Amino acid sequence: MASLKYYLQLGGRYVFAGLFGAIVLYLLFVLRPWKKRPLSKEYRARWMLSLWYLCTLLCVTFAGRWAGRLAPFTALSLRPFAALCEALVSPDKHAQNQMLLNALAFVPLGLLLVWHAQKREKGARLYWLALLLPLGIELIQFATGLGFFDLDDLLLNCLGGAWGLCLGLCYVSLKKRKSILFPAIGVLLPVAAIAAGLLWLSARPYGFVPQDFSDPAHGKPQSVSVDALEGQLPGTVRVYRIVSLSENEAEQTADRLFAALGLTRNRNLSDIYDDVAVYWAAESNVYVWVYYNGDFNLHVPNGLTIEGTPAETALGVLERAGYSLPAPDEAEDDRMVWRFFPADGLLYDGEIRVRSSAYSGDVIEASLRRLQPGTACYAYDTAALRDALLSGRFSILDGSGAEQIRQLVCQSAELTWVIDGKGCYHPIYRIDAQIDGEPAKILAPAF
């Protein structure tokens, strides 16, 4: 997900290309020097600004993707508010920037359409372009493989166009000393509609749909027994959300890691883009990537001073950096895993891995994610879980390669959590089972 800085740089990069295209179109279709005709300054300015905006918008939308794409792809998302919910719950703070810019980019379109409409009879027909232009762009993206058709993008683009129309009409009404009540309502109504949709979805934990564990390779079992699970399943389960780092916290993380190695951060050399910040040490070529979801990768090209196993070395570095870590739940020579451990009044989920490469030397990869407990939800009881399994809402983690499942017998279950792309940990059951008499492990929804 790109940052606001990235989008501003992208707009600046293509603003001159858009200006060149606008000048060409202006000469060919507006000025037409071979036809001598009087044109007012307002007419010239209106068309020049409109063409410049349109060419820049198309360049930003298509040219950058064309230059960077590897192969065409097509995708279709017709779920309303899905991307909006994802942005709102994502630990990547730049996701909200993209949603906001999707709307703001089309505000000038509405303003320009009002300007054009006021200068011609039946100009209100032009207002349909505030809906048709975003729709056309989404269809072109889908047809050419330069993006994908996302209903939320279309809603936000149209929302921006509607805002521009209403703001322009407010200005016209004030200029003519008329009431701005109806244009003002037009500004607020789309926002209220989207807010109502998000409020409806927020009745679910963080507005996401529980993961569908259906496994089409195996289909639905003919019979399911969950009798052995009576009394094992919890009454409620909880969703957790990753708490994202601020830019200042990312800098502090880098400073603590460098201090643990006896280094200091180069204050003049850091790069911040997408959802990660890159910091370099002043005295050496050691650098660290700090992600806003709490992950970080510490690169030591000259190699770490090994103290025991690589995992123990990494643990020593983190302890010197101020991380209070309990004994890991799982430990290997180059990997340690923690599950939901409290520290400093917060809840964490984490994993540390140490690896070596010819390019970056030794690397400590850490996922120490701060978690915020979400709403407690009613968990599936045995009857609800049986219904979910009978409908095929499970996936086989280990065992049974049969194409058709006749009998599924659940023996024991433990609660675990999986993270989705929206920065939410949602609970699932990890079940020891028998599939047609053979041992297997399956995953099934917990609520």
Cβ pair 121, 63 in contact under 8 A: no
pLDDT in tens, 204-229: 555 455 556 766 666 788 899 999 99
Residue 264 corresponds to which tokens in the numbers above?
């200091």
pLDDT at 7: 60
**Long-range pairs for 66-74: beta carbons < 8 A, 24 or more residues apart:** 66/146, 69/145, 69/146, 71/145, 72/144, 72/145, 72/146, 73/145, 73/148, 74/142, 74/143, 74/145, 74/148
H-assigned helices in 120-246: 129-144, 151-175, 181-201
pLDDT at 16: 84
Cβ pair 92, 293 in contact under 8 A: yes
pLDDT of 310 higher than 60:
yes
pLDDT in tens, 121-151: 778 888 889 889 999 988 888 887 777 788 8
Q: Per-domain residue ranges for the chain?
A: 4-206, 209-235+379-445, 241-368
H/E stretch holding 58: helix 41-58
Question: What integer is the mean pLDDT of 90-94?
Answer: 60
Residue with tokens 């959300």: 241
Report residue 68's pLDDT band, with 50, 70 and 90 as the boundaries.
very low
DSSP, collapsed to helix, strand or coil, labels residue 354 as: strand
| Nearest C-alpha neighbor of 298 from the set 368, 233, 349, 401 | 368
Report residue 432's pLDDT band, with 50, 70 and 90 as the boundaries.
very high
Non-local CB neighbours of 209 within 8 Å, separated by 6+ positions: none
pLDDT in tens, 21-38: 889 998 888 887 667 778
pLDDT at 255: 94
Report residue 425's pLDDT band, with 50, 70 and 90 as the boundaries.
confident
Q: At what angle do helices 41-58 and 4-25 cross, to 10 degrees?
A: 130
Residue with tokens 């600004």: 49
Residue 371 corresponds to which tokens in the numbers above?
């978690």
